[in-house]
Structure 1
Amino acid sequence: LLAEGCVTDAKGRAVTGGKGKVYQGEVFTVRIPPPTPAEPEGQDIPLDVVYEDDDLIVIDKPAGLVVHPAAGNADGTLVNALLAHCKGSLSGIGGVERPGIVHRLDKDTSGLMVAAKTDAAHRGLAKQFEDHSIDRAYLAVVWGVPRPTEGEVEGNIGRDPKNRKKMAVVGEGRGKYAKTYYSVVERLGTRTALVECRLATGRTHQIRVHMASLGHPVVGDPLYAGRHGRQAGPTGALPEDVKKTLVDGKGQALHAYILGFTHPASGERLQFKSKKLNYINMLCDIFRSV
């Protein structure tokens, strides 16, 4: 409940830490989220299917779609869509709430994902994620231009001690090791850059945390870009039309555009490239002239 922001103090501020003392007379409000169904049901939610066979399915997830049911998102998720599309033929290794789910993308991160239809396919794909042999590349529009324009970011990632909804680069002995390779694809005007990020590991919010740690957070990121997320750039206020585009946009400008893996049944190496870069391309066009 704390992590989900369901506990607030008398002034309406979220209580995210569990180590603080409670004193007599203090008043807190606890919001109980709706219960999550024990077994998600299939729902007719459109899917952009990139590839499908008897063992697995590759989809291009839109921004705004939650991957699996959880507190606050009991249905309307990718899992509900997959259950309907695959007629219930999904791997059960992830449990009743996550059938077929081998990996995840954040709600507002769009792009390519693979789901397993069989337990054997799930095990084979999970092993590749564990071995870091999956090829994953993302495109991101970030504030500023990283220097050097090509490099790597290393740093353990764990829960932010000041905000349990966020992750952060933490010291040795805490969190999990994470490594991201980045390369500037194009400098966009004077404020932003288009960057390709490749994952050597796969931690929660990894690219968002690592780029923010460099001082170049992802445009539109409500968690890690601070006041620059949708309202202003590092060099000052944005034009009103640009600001409106970001406020009305689809979350952080981060898209998983390449996904490659070895098919767990056939042994064939498969490589997919997303064609749904509309939001990224739109932002690039906007920032080239700002």
Structure 2
Amino acid sequence: MAEVVHADLLEQILLRSEVKDLIRFKSVCKSWHSVITSSGFINRHLNRSYNKDRHNYEIGHRRIRLTDGSGSYTLVGSSNGLVCIISYLRIGEVLVGNPLTRELRQLPLSTIDLPSCRGFGYDSSTDDYTVLVGAKNGKNRTCVQVLSLKSNEWKVIGEVMYTFMTADGVFCNGALHWIVRDQNSKRVIISYDLSKEQFKEIPQPEGEGCLPRFSWSSLGIMKECLCIIENSNFGDVWMMKKYNVKQSWELLPRHREIIYTIVHSFSIHKDEIFFDFRSKSSWDWDYVFRVFIMAPIFVKSLVSP
């Protein structure tokens, strides 16, 4: 009985530790290594990290960016501590890694050389991660492929009758989202549900001057809600407070308070992924809102690609 209590107490202590410390703790002894590397512990630590950041209003959400000055890589997205990167050094190469554990996995080459749309997200129904890439195939037509990390194989979803106006899919409510142009050249928001493997249009806000400026807008996430951010100084910001409900779109006030956010940065050198630094920002709210609200949210975790 004493051993059980001791094991429970040990896990509670380890759950409160940072990832960098847990990596070192794995070398302490076999029992510690067994606890830290177990799937149950990794999931509980991830949930604790997520909830800790989620309710810490002093730092807001943590964002992540790729600091690759050569332009050889682009960040596709981040989910549960994993980041997805497309390499321009090798056509069709997609990488998934954890910057904290420095694990990096190269996925099979996609037949789509230079994707015009891309996305990365977590499917809770299958406990799996999905990478999506698409390429323009004629007027207002895009060919789409997806890969799940468990299958490790690219699968052709088919063609969607849209031209993607934003390249990177924004992950929200189990789906990826983009601004696109349909067959009638109308700009709309579409989603790709990871569990259902289906595209559908998302109801968009109604208001004077909203749609005409869609071509200059991007999507982002704030307080776990999908947002439309106009890419201009002091531009309008729309928030969908209840997912997929047209009436829940709200135009936020122009005069906003200054926020504080954490920005994580990482880089890749010689097939290794590194966590470079963390910077706390208190810049002009409009700048932070337009730039970092569109960057993926990063959660510290032990999740392996």
TM-score by length of 2: 0.25
Identify the structure with the greater strand proportion.
Answer: 2
Task: Between the two structures, name the one with larger relative contact order (CA 8 Å, sep ≥ 6).
Answer: 2
TM-score by length of 1: 0.26
